[in-house]
Structure 1
Amino acid sequence: MKTNKLIIFLLAIVTSISFTSCVEDGDFDVPNSIGAEENSALQALLNTSGYSEISITNLKGLFVNGQVTEITSDIYVKGYVSSSDRSGNFYKEFFIQDSPTSPTTAIKVVTEFIDSYNKFNFGREVYINLKGLYIGEVRSGDGVIAIGGDRNIDDEVENLSINQTESAVLRSINTEQITPLTVKLSQINDSHVGVFVKVENAHFPSSLAGKTYHDSNNRFDTQRTLESCDGFGFTNFILETSAFASFGFTPMPSGGGSISAVVSKTFNGSDLVLALNSVEDVDMNGPKCTPLDINDFSVVVEEDFDAGTDNTNLNFPGWVNVAETGSELWTEQLFSGNGYAEFSAFRTGDAVNVGWLVSPSVDLSAHSQVFVNFMLAQHHLDSSANTLEVLVSTDFDGSNVAAATWQAISANIPTQADSWYQFKDGGLIDLAAFSGTLYVAFKYTGSGTDTDLDGAYMIDDFRILAK
Structure 2
Amino acid sequence: MKTNKFLTLVLTIVASLAIVSCVQDDDYTIPTSLGDEENARLNTLLANGTEISIAEAKAMYSVGDFLEPIDENIYIKGYVSSSDKSGNFFKEFYLQDSPSSPTTAIKVIINQVDLYNQFNFGREVYVSLKDLYIGEERVGNGVTAIGGGIETDQYGTTVTSLGQTRARTHVFRSPVTEEIVPLSVSVSQINSSLVGVFIQLDNVEFADNLAGKRYFDPMEDFDTKRQLQSCGGVNYTTINLETSGFSTFKNELLPTGNGTLKAVVNKTFDGASVVLALNSVDDVNLEGNRCSLAVAIFSEDFESATNNTNLDIPGWTNFAEAGSWVWREKIFDNNGYTEFSTFNSGSPVNIAWLVSPGIDMDAQEDERLNFTAAQHHLESEANTLEVFVSTDFDGTDVLAATWEPVSASLPTMDNSWYEMVDSGLIDISGYTGTLYVAFKVTGSGTDTSLDGAYQVDNFNVFATE
Interval containing the TM-score (normalised by the shorter chain):
0.5 to 0.7
Q: Secondary structure at the residue paired with 2:157?
A: coil
Output one character per residue of 1:314-343: Cα deviation in whole Å (capped at 9) or x when no partner. xx989xxxxxxxxxxxxxxxxxxx956899
Contact map agreement 1:149 1:164 (CA 8 A) in 2: yes
- Counting only pairs closer than 5 Å after superposition, residues 225-374 of structure 1 correspond to structure 2 as 225-295=227-297, 360=386, 372=408
Distance (Å, rounded) in 2 between the aligned partners of 1:159 and 1:431: 54
What is aligned with 2:205? 203
The verdict on how the C-alpha distance between 1:233 and 1:38 changes in structure 2, with shifts beyond 3 A counting, is same
- Counting only pairs closer than 5 Å after superposition, residues 2-151 of structure 1 correspond to structure 2 as 28-33=25-30, 35-48=35-48, 51-70=49-68, 71-151=70-150
- Aligned length, in residue pairs: 342
Identical-residue share of aligned pairs (%): 44
**Superposition deviation, residue 307 in structure 1:** 6.5
What is aligned with 1:214? 216
What is aligned with 2:192? 190
Contact map agreement 2:83 2:116 (CA 8 A) in 1: yes
Computing the radius of gyration from Cα coordinates, the structure with the larger value is 2
Contact map agreement 1:92 1:112 (CA 8 A) in 2: yes
**Superposition deviation, residue 124 in structure 1:** 0.5
Q: Secondary structure at the residue paired with 2:297?
A: helix
Contact map agreement 1:368 1:466 (CA 8 A) in 2: no
Distance (Å, rounded) in 1 between the aligned partners of 2:234 and 2:127: 45
The verdict on how the C-alpha distance between 1:462 and 1:250 changes in structure 2, with shifts beyond 3 A counting, is same
Distance (Å, rounded) in 2 between the aligned partners of 1:93 and 1:169: 12
The verdict on how the C-alpha distance between 1:30 and 1:423 changes in structure 2, with shifts beyond 3 A counting, is farther
**Superposition deviation, residue 29 in structure 1:** 3.6
Output one character per residue of 1:168-211: Cα deviation in whole Å (capped at 9) or x when no partner. 11100011111111111111111111100010101112211110
TM-score (norm 1): 0.62
**Superposition deviation, residue 291 in structure 1:** 3.3
What is aligned with 1:412? none
The verdict on how the C-alpha distance between 1:160 and 1:18 changes in structure 2, with shifts beyond 3 A counting, is closer
**Superposition deviation, residue 287 in structure 1:** 0.7
Q: Secondary structure at the residue paired with 1:120?
A: coil
Distance (Å, rounded) in 2 between the aligned partners of 1:75 and 1:188: 30
TM-score (norm 2): 0.63
What is aligned with 2:171? 169
Contact map agreement 2:298 2:460 (CA 8 A) in 1: no
Contact map agreement 1:298 1:465 (CA 8 A) in 2: no
What is aligned with 2:394? none
Identify unmatched segments of 5+ residues in structure 2. Answer: 1-10, 302-336, 343-349, 353-372, 392-401, 430-455
**Superposition deviation, residue 295 in structure 1:** 3.1
Contact map agreement 2:297 2:462 (CA 8 A) in 1: no
Letter in 2 for 1:237: I
**Superposition deviation, residue 280 in structure 1:** 1.0
Identify unmatched segments of 5+ residues in structure 1. Answer: 1-10, 310-315, 319-337, 344-354, 380-420, 433-459
